[in-house]
Amino acid sequence: MASKIFQLGLSQSKTLELSKDARALKEAFEAGNLPAVAAKLQATLHSLENVRLDIGITGGTGSGKSTFVNVIRGLGDEDPDSALTGVVEMTVEPTPYPHPKYPNVIIWDLPGIGAPTFQADKYLQRVRVDRYDFFLIISSENFTASHAQLAHEILQQSKGFYFVRSKVDADMAASRSRRPSTFSEERVLSQIRDDCLQRLEAEGLEDPKVFLLSMFELGKYDFCRLEESMVKEIESHKQHALLVALPSISKPILEKKAASLRQHIWLVATVACGINPSPVPGVRDVACDLYRLIRSLEGYRRSFGLDRDSLGKLAEQTSQPLHKILEAVQGPKTKVTEELVVDLLGQASGGANAFTQELLNVPVLGALATCGISFATVYRMLRLSLDVAFKDAQSVLRQTFLNSSDQ
C-alpha cells in the first residue's frame, strides 16, 4: 500500500522527478520515516525554487524592448535597477537583468536587429542563442525580413519565440484622432494583427504567433494571452519559476500561480516538519521549522504582488492611493513574523485532527499524515494562507484593473 501511495503521489504532484535516489525515498515513504523523507525532498524543493530561467528580448531600435524588460520585472524606466531605454539603440551587448524578486529568472536585453546588413546566424552566435529558454521578438511598426530571418534561425536552433507588436496604444490614439466618429478599437486591433500575420507569412513563417501590447497599459490587449502561451509552452520543470515571476494582472495567471503553489504545499510541510523541527509555543503537539513557514508565507505574498513594495509600485502605476489598495487585502499587510505564523498554526490546529483523516485518503499526504499532528497542522495552515493570498490578489486585481476589458 505504501508503495502505491508513493507512486500515485509522485504522479499527482508533478513536482518530483525520479532519480538515482528514488529507491531510498520510496523506502522512506514505506517506512513512514518523515525525517528521511524530508531530507530527500529538501533538495527537490530547493531545485524547484531556484531553477534557472533565461528569456531573451530582441527587436528593432526604439521598439520598446528595454521597456518590456523593465515592465516584465515590475519596474519603471526610472527605477535604479531598470534597463536603459531611449529612441536610439541603448544595448550594445547582451545585458542580463535578474528579476528583483526572483534572481534565478533572468531577462536579457539583447542588441537591436535593425542594421541593413543584419545576419541572423551571426547575431545568434554573438548573443549565444544556447543560453535562452525562449525569445520575444518585438517590433513597434511593421515586421520586416530581419524579424522573419531571426525567427527562422531561432527555429533552426530548436528554440521557441513569440512576436510582439508593441506601442499599440499609440496606434489607437492616432486612429481615434484621425477618425473620431468611426473609431473602433476592435477594428484597429484586427487590422494591426492581420497586417503582422500577412507580412510574416509572406516571409515563409507558418502560423506565426503575434501578440499586441502596450508597455504602459500592460493589462490591456494581448499580454494575458502572451503570459498563458509562455507558461503553457515552457518546459514543465520551469513553469513554476515563470509563473511566480510574471506580473499578477490577469485572473488566469493568478489561478495558475495558485495551482502551482498549491502543488508544492505537501513538499513545504514535509520539509518544515522533518528538518530541524522545534516545538511551537502555545500549539500543542506541533513541532516544525518556523523560519521555513515564514519564508513560504512571504513567498505567497511576493508571487501574488501583495508585498508592500509591489503594492506601492502598483499604486503609482494606477494613480490610486495606496490605502485604497490595502483595503482590498485581508491577509498580512506588513512583514510576516514568527508571532503571526504561530498564531496561524494555532488556528489551523483546531481542525487538524479532522484534517488528518481527510489527508489519509490522499496519495502521499496520507502516508505523511500518519506521522503525526504536526504535518496536518502545517499543511492546513499553508493551504489556508495560500487561499487568503489568492483571494487578496483577486481583490487587488478588481480594485486596480476594474476598467480593463481583459479582466
Strand order, beta sheet including 95-98: 95-98, 105-109, 53-59, 134-139, 160-165, 210-212
> Can you give the residue ranges of every domain in the chain?
52-247, 254-400
Residue 60 CA to residue 67 CA, distance in Å, equals 13
Residue 141 CA to residue 195 CA, distance in Å, equals 10
Strands, E, within 284-401: which ranges? Answer: 287-288
pLDDT value of residue 11: 41
* pLDDT tens digit at each of 407 positions of the chain: 333 333 434 443 444 443 434 455 555 555 556 677 777 788 888 888 889 999 999 998 888 888 889 888 888 777 777 777 654 445 578 899 999 999 999 999 998 887 767 888 898 999 999 999 999 999 988 899 999 999 999 999 999 999 999 998 888 888 888 888 888 888 989 999 999 999 999 999 998 999 999 888 887 889 989 998 999 999 888 999 999 999 888 888 899 999 999 988 888 988 898 888 899 998 888 889 999 999 999 999 999 999 888 888 888 877 888 888 888 888 887 789 999 999 999 998 876 666 655 555 555 554 555 456 788 889 889 999 999 999 999 999 888 765 444 44
Q: What is the dihedral of CA 239, 240, 246, 250, to 10 degrees?
A: 90
Q: For residue 333, what is its C-alpha cell? A: 499587510
Cβ–Cβ under 8 Å, residues 26 and 20 = no
CA-based R_g, the chain, Å? 24
pLDDT value of residue 34: 65
Q: For residue 126, what is its C-alpha cell? A: 554573438
Q: What are phi and psi of 40, to 5 degrees?
A: -70, -40
Q: What is the dihedral of CA 147, 148, 149, 154, to 10 degrees?
A: 90
Cell 535604479 belongs to which residue? 80
pLDDT value of residue 299: 93
Residues 6+ apart with CB under 8 A from 31: 2
Domain at 52-247: CATH code: 3.40.50.300
pLDDT value of residue 155: 93
Q: How many helices (H) and strands (E) does the chain have?
A: 19, 8
Convert 214-240 into a string of H (helix), E (strand) and C (coil): CCCCCCCCCHHHHHHHHHHHCCHHHHH
pLDDT value of residue 405: 41
pLDDT value of residue 403: 40
